[in-house]
Structure formats: structure tokens, C-alpha cells
Amino acid sequence: MENVVVIVGAGPSGLATSACLSAHSIPHVILEKEDIYASLWKKRAYDRLKLHLAKEFCSLPFRPHSPGSPTYIPKDLFVKYLDEYVSTFNIQPQYHRSVESAGYNENDGKWRIEARNVQSGEVEVYVAEFLVIASGENSAKYIPDFPGLDTFKGEMIHSSDYKSGLTYENKDVLVVGCGNSGMEIAYDLSNFGARTSIVIRNPVHVLTKEMVRVGMILSNYLSVFIVDFVVLVMAYIIYGNLSKYGIRRPKQGPFFQKIKHGRAPVIDVGTVHKIKSKQIKVVPGISSIKGKKRVVFEDGAEREFDAIVFATGFKSIVNNWLKDYKYALIEDGFPKNDFPHHWKGERNLYCCGLSRRGLFGVSMDAKSIADDINKVISQKVEM
């Protein structure tokens, strides 16, 4: 099957790239392993989730959020936005296509992509001049392999399978991971009456949504070091010294850390107040699982839990199927080129949504990729 462009993934990155290619009238196909677009949002997002950034930083190309929508868009409203986006730009992904292999053919200068139709079991071959990786940062669930993990007899779930704390009332629940998902899930569990503990091992910045919004606006005019200073002063005024509650602050500022390492600050939804008031207990890292429901911590303490929620993130599996990943990625599945040139690889290989800059980065990547592909095609026509 000959194509000009093949896009792998129908999440926001794939949808945005499709819309931008269509704006240039460039034929393309989207291969999606799930049965629906934006499956992470539609199937694997917890109920109380809202976009952590203000709506002006969370729109896809050519379609800003409506003026009447909330500043911080709730999950269901964002899903509706994606539905309208797909309808408006007539985006038609090929579903149930799990890409198993993609490699570059030096002889004809094209990409050969093999995708299994998971419904029929047949392997389909796609040939394209351009290949866009749009499967996102959140490809596969990651759960650390603690000693004795397989002996735990309580409930164990990944944060992507968590919906709400409704069924955890009066239960002892441990949340592993102190990123945005972990902190918000801990808050949600506590609200529903669970006896909640959270593992916080590493230093982390905790800010409010308003602080982040101010910081992003200031970033247009001031250096990142001044922005970090202003935001951290605001954080100290609101929260004080959190180290006595088990929350240590990193040495690098939140915006510098985001730019340099892609690590986002935790945006507090009320978790800090619950930690301060001892409604949520901060515990050290897990050493091992001992017995049916007993967890041993790094300080030697032991406690029993009815459930463990692993908010330990995801890992990229792109390099499992992208044989020639070296043209754009490094071994961990992230771009080899630094921002802002991260989206473009060699041999007409591109990656969208891997800048660790959220939906704002997705939109930037999609526009850049489509413009570059259009430029390459136009130059060939002129020759």
C-alpha cells in the first residue's frame, strides 16, 4: 500500500499532524492499534482529571478552545473538543493496526511499515516517503519490579486503570509515585474516605495552576532563572517549607528543570493541605513486598495495605518496532536532537509530541512537521 505519509498513533499528536498535513493537501494515513482515537483520554484517564495548564496552552492547530470554556478544561470537555476536532478536519484513522516493524529502504528511499490487523490477524504492508512517530510519551505502563511484588494479594493497578476512589472507602491504599497523577489520585482517594499513603522519594516542585500560568506568561519576556525565582517565591509564600512534611524541593528551578530535563512540577489540587493535616501520609520508598498485604519501606517500617496504585508513569516502546530509530531517536525512545529541532530526524523520519511540553508542544511539532514535509515535496516538484 503506497502512501505519501504514514502517521503512527491517533492520539492528540497524530490528530494534530493529520490536520496540518490536510491543510497542505498532503495525502496520509494514520495507523492506530486501539479501536478509537485518543484512547488514553477516552479509556485510561481518571474521572476528576483536568488539563493542568490553562486552555490557551492546550489547543491543537487551527482550533482554539471556545471563549466560554473553563480556563482549566476537565477531561470530558477535552474529549468533546477532540471529537469535534476529528469531525471538523475529517480525520479517519485506520484502527486495530498494531505496527510491528518499520524500516528505511536505502534502495528506493522509502519507509516500509508492517502493521498487524488485530481483528483479522493479517499483516499489512505500507510504503511511505515520510514516517511520523505520533504514538506519544505514554506508550506502555511502567511498574517497578520490587522484590516480592508477585506475592502481594491485595489489589494492584496502574494509574491509567484508576477511575475514582469510590470503591476504596475505609481501605488502606498506597500510592506509589509523586508526579501529577500520583498526587491527584492520592487526593481523590482521601476525598472518598480511603486511608491514603503516598511514596515520595525524590525532590519535587509543588506549584498551583495559577503559578504555572504566571510562569508561562513571564517566560515570553524574562529569562528562565528570573521566572523560576518569581515562581518559587510565590510557592514559598503559599506553602512554606514543605521538607518537614516529606516533600523536598529540587535544587534546579521548576521551569529550568522542565526545559532541561522534561520534568514537570506537581500542580497541587489540594494534596498538600491533606498532607499537612495528616489526612494523607507521606512514606519513603518501597524496599520489598512481604507476605499477602505487607509492604516494607526503606526505613525498615512495615505496613499492610488493601491496594497499591502505581502512578509510576510509562515507557516508550517505539524502538521495539522502529528498526531504524537512530535516524531520530535515542535508545530510550526520545528525540536525539535537542529542542527546538527535536521533531526532525534523518531520512524523512519525524516525531510529534515527544518534546515533553504537553499539548502546546504537540501543536508546535505538528505544524513544523507538516510545513517541512510540504517544503520537501514542493522542492521535488520544482526540480
pLDDT average, residue stretch 17-27:
98
Question: 340 vs 309, which has greater pLDDT?
Answer: 309
Instruction: Please give the Cα distance from 375 to 367 (Å, whole number).
Output: 12
Please identify which residue in the block is written with the cell numbers 470503591: 167
Judged on CB neighbours under 10 Å (0-12, 13-18, 19+), 167 is exposed
Comparing CA positions, the residue from 280, 259, 284 lying closest to residue 269 is 280
Q: Measured between alpha carbons, how far is residue 60 from residues 7, 31, 36, 72, 202 in Å?
A: 17, 19, 18, 15, 33
pTM above the 0.85 mark? yes
Judged on CB neighbours under 10 Å (0-12, 13-18, 19+), 352 is buried
Q: Is the pLDDT of residue 72 over 80?
A: yes
Mean model confidence pLDDT for the chain: 95
The three three-digit cell numbers of residue 267, written as one number:
500542580
Residues of the chain with pLDDT > 90: what percent? 88
Q: Please count the CA atoms within 13 angstroms of the CA of 336 that sit on its side-chain side.
A: 14
- State the pLDDT confidence band at 28, using cuts at 50, 70 and 90: very high
Q: Is the pLDDT of residue 381 over 80?
A: no
Instruction: Please give the Cα distance from 201 to 68 (Å, whole number).
Output: 40
Instruction: Please give the Cα distance from 170 to 188 (Å, whole number).
Output: 13
Q: Is the pLDDT of residue 138 over 70?
A: no
Query: What does DSSP say about strands 206-207 and 266-267: parallel, antiparallel, or unpaired?
Result: parallel
pLDDT average, residue stretch 182-200:
98
pLDDT average, residue stretch 298-306:
96
pLDDT average, residue stretch 302-330:
93
